[in-house]
Amino acid sequence: MIQTAILLAAGAGTRFWPYNVVRNKCAFPIANIPAVRRLSDDLAALGITRQVVVTGVGESSVRAALHGAAADIVFVHQAHPTGTADAALLGAAGIDGDVLVVAGDIVTDRSNLTALCDYFERNRPPAAALVQPLGAESSLDWLIPFVENGVLRGVEGHSRDGDRRFCGVYAFRPEAIPFLRDNPGLVRVGVGGMPPIEAEIVQSLQMMVDDGETVAVLDAPGFHIDLDKPWHILEATGHVITAMSAALEGHRIDPTARVHDGADIHGRLALGPGAVIGNRVVVEGDLWLGAHAKALNGAIIQGHAIVGRDTILRDYCQIGSTSSLGACGVYGHGAEFSGVALDTVYCYHYCEIWGVVGQAVDFGAATVCGNLRFDDRETVWRIKGRPETPATAANAAYFGDFCRTGVNAIIMPGRRLGVYSICGPGVILRDDLPDRTIVMVEQQITTRPWGPERYGW
């Protein structure tokens, strides 16, 4: 069996903005568990308890995410962001035997890890890689494998062709490690391509193919999401909650939790210690309610949802299906929320929010996200200056950590608010708001005499 896994958590994750500013994106929570912690726990459940985590930017957030993990973890720091091949080589130093190399910013079904490990251990190729069909996303966004009968024939970065992409999960026998060491620092691209100077693991696989070595390729049997852009957060959360629902067998209610007889329950309940579901609450799917969390006085949960510890839903708020809410939040009277929120989000009343909300965000009353365009056109984003059209959730709003909105702020489709920023009262936000920025609207006031002699009696 593979005894050691190398988790790569060193990249800056700039395409993930605004959620890469105060943490490494590997530490971003999906269904309230950091992505890298999900991977570590899944690997440990498969018996791979010796884990080397390669850190870089945002190292402290990765260490915190793995605090208390079941695995025997060793941290190795990559001082300069020279690429995944260099990071994997750094993690493999001093290790004898086979290794599994896993990108720390993926959200993947455990069956994918199981399938690759089983195949690798049965067939013993020098290297193996997990891939998946492209689906609705463009091949220009990914590292593309060209596969024939389950064997890699070539790779190309951001190719115009291909029907699969690499998933960031690889298995190597010891004789394959020198190919990581000898990586040229540029991935193969087509004519006109401009690759960054970066040692990608897939180029080491290309070198193995060029030398006549066999690189096996396995299609992922389960869901797999790479947390590369902000909209992937919503996609990953939806897959995880759906999988949790499929695995949930009946109610799981702590003896100290309470459910009012007047609640309208249409799903299964997983209630932590001290959790409360009150009168007139409507639950239309499976609900995970954390310790001391409360759904009170007519709160409506429209489908499967996760609510973190000590969070309060109350007074006819409405929570959308496959939403994930962090700890210590408040969702109050008339607040409509759908999507992902991290810890300590305040959405007290009269809000309409769809998207992703970072930590400790405070919404002013009547903050509204415009989720539809009047012209019915696609919403085009700019990711590091490059225009992109998301395949999913292009019109959602994305709020960075520690930002806030004023009363009656309107967020137009697909806009992002940076970390530590404020969208002031009455502002219609049509463009992304950078980090550490406040935008306010200047009101023009006209004052003149008025009364019955002017209006008419």
Query: For residue 340, which of 419, 243, 234 has the smallest C-alpha distance?
Result: 234
| Domain definitions of the chain by residue range | 4-228, 253-439
Cα gap 254→30, rounded to integer Å? 23
Alpha-carbon gap, residue 385 to 399, rounded angstroms:
19
Pairing outcome for strands 336-341 and 352-357: parallel
- pLDDT at position 161 is 87
Q: Do residues 87 and 65 touch, judged by C-beta distance below 8 A? A: no
- Mind listing the pLDDT tens digit for each residue in 328-367? 999 999 999 999 999 999 999 899 999 999 999 999 999 9
Give the pLDDT of residue 456.
Answer: 67
The fold adopted by the segment(s) 253-439 is: UDP N-Acetylglucosamine Acyltransferase; domain 1 (2.160.10)
CB within 8 A of 370, min separation 6: which ones? Answer: 395, 410, 411, 412, 413
- DSSP E strand boundaries for 240-329: 252-253, 258-259, 264-265, 269-271, 276-277, 282-283, 287-289, 294-295, 300-301, 305-307, 312-313, 318-319, 323-325
* Residue 440 confidence (pLDDT): 97
Q: Which of 377, 384, 415, 22 is nearest to 231 (CA)?
A: 415
Please answer whether residues 224 and 192 qualify as being in contact, where contact means their C-beta atoms are separated by less than 8 angstroms: no
Cβ-Cβ contacts under 8 Å for 403 (sequence gap 6 or more): 358, 361, 417, 418, 419, 420, 421, 422, 423, 433
Helix axis angle for 201-210 and 84-92, nearest 10°, is 80
Q: Alpha-carbon distance 97 to 128, whole Å?
A: 15
At the fourth CATH level, the homologous superfamily of domain 4-228 is Spore Coat Polysaccharide Biosynthesis Protein SpsA; Chain A (3.90.550.10)
Q: Which phi and psi angles does 118 have, rounded to 5°?
A: -65, -45
Question: Which regions in the chain score pLDDT beneath 50?
Answer: none
Check for a shared fold between 4-228 and 253-439: no
Helix or strand or coil: residue 39?
helix
- Residue 457: predicted pLDDT: 63
pLDDT of residue 37: 98
Q: Note the pLDDT tens digit of each residue in 277-291.
A: 999 999 999 999 999
393 to 186, 234, 417, 422: CA distances (angstroms): 32, 8, 16, 23
User: By three-state DSSP, how is residue 16 classified?
Assistant: helix
User: Is the Cβ–Cβ distance between 257 and 273 less than 8 Å?
Assistant: yes
